[in-house]
């Protein structure tokens, strides 16, 4: 039996997406737990008071058909799945200005259009084929971004057998980045992330070395 509890740390657990949820327009915080959830419907745009949306799912991808830019109070959008934004990008003048945490966003959705709206992001998490991310955009415009987490997910292939090879330049990263978390095989030089003070490496089974220039800055 699904339950809904009150309070900031409340959670909603269902076996499928609860259609009536989109009528609760005064909600400010939602943790939605559903193992097979892979789509958020267009009507989620009605939750214009929502400030925090956390989706707990085992699905690899989460398609958001809602227009998150109409949810002008939204500050935190978090899930472990790779977020695919399909909703209309139109919104109010201040659309996306309150968004501080966004993740995990698919590389294909890391576009100038998205980042021009979500330009006040403090934390960004990306999951997917990172080579695509590095080809379509840079993050240098996100001058408030301090925490960046990158997961190179090229399922069904092995990321360790397809390392990223020296793709990034120092001006690709946000200028004020403080913490970088990498779950990726990456051959890099030492000129990335000049303001970095914290580096976390996850699942880098074949890591040979960290560039001396980078170590000296940490």
Is residue 27 classed as helix, strand or coil in its secondary structure?
Answer: coil
Residues of the chain with pLDDT below 70 are: 1-12, 89, 91-93, 156, 158-170, 184-198, 201-218
Cα dihedral: 214, 148, 56, 6 (round 10) = 120
- Looking at residue 96, what DSSP letter applies? T
Please report the pLDDT score of residue 108 as a whole number. 94
Map tokens 């008071």 to a residue: 49
Residue 6 and residue 29: Cα distance in Å, rounded?
10
User: Tokens for 91?
Assistant: 């919104």
- The pLDDT tens digits of the residues spanning 10-21 come to 555 778 899 899
- Based on its alpha-carbon atoms, the radius of gyration of the chain, rounded to whole angstroms, reads 18
Nearest to 75 by CA among 53, 54, 99, 55: 99
The one-character DSSP state at 107 is: G
Which DSSP string do the residues of 164-181 spell out, in sequence order?
Answer: EES---GGGS-TT--EEE
Tracing tokens 């090879």 back to the chain, one arrives at 165
pLDDT score recorded for residue 185: 60
Per-residue DSSP letter, 1: -
Six token digits for residue 43: 């009507």
């Amino acid at each position: 039996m699904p339950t809904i509890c009150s309070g900031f740390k409340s959670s909603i657990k269902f076996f499928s997406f609860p259609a009536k949820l989109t009528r609760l327009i005064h909600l400010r915080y939602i943790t939605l737990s559903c193992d097979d959830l892979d789509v958020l419907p267009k009507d989620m745009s009605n939750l214009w008071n929502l400030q925090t949306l956390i989706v707990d799912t085992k699905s690899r991808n989460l398609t958001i058909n809602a227009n998150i830019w109409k949810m002008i109070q939204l500050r935190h959008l978090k899930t472990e799945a790779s977020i695919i934004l399909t909703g209309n990008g139109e919104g109010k003048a201040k659309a996306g200005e309150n968004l501080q945490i966004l993740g995990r966003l698919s590389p294909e959705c890391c576009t100038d259009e998205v980042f021009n709206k979500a330009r006040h992001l403090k934390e960004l998490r990306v999951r997917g084929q990172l080579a695509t991310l590095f080809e379509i955009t840079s993050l240098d415009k996100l001058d408030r971004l301090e925490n960046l987490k990158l997961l190179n997910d090229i399922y069904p292939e092995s990321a360790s057998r397809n390392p990223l090879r020296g793709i990034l330049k120092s001006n690709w990263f946000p200028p004020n980045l403080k913490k970088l978390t990498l779950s990726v095989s990456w051959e890099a030089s030492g000129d990335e992330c000049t303001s970095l003070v914290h580096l976390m490496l996850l699942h880098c089974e074949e890591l040979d070395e960290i560039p001396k220039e980078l170590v000296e800055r940490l």
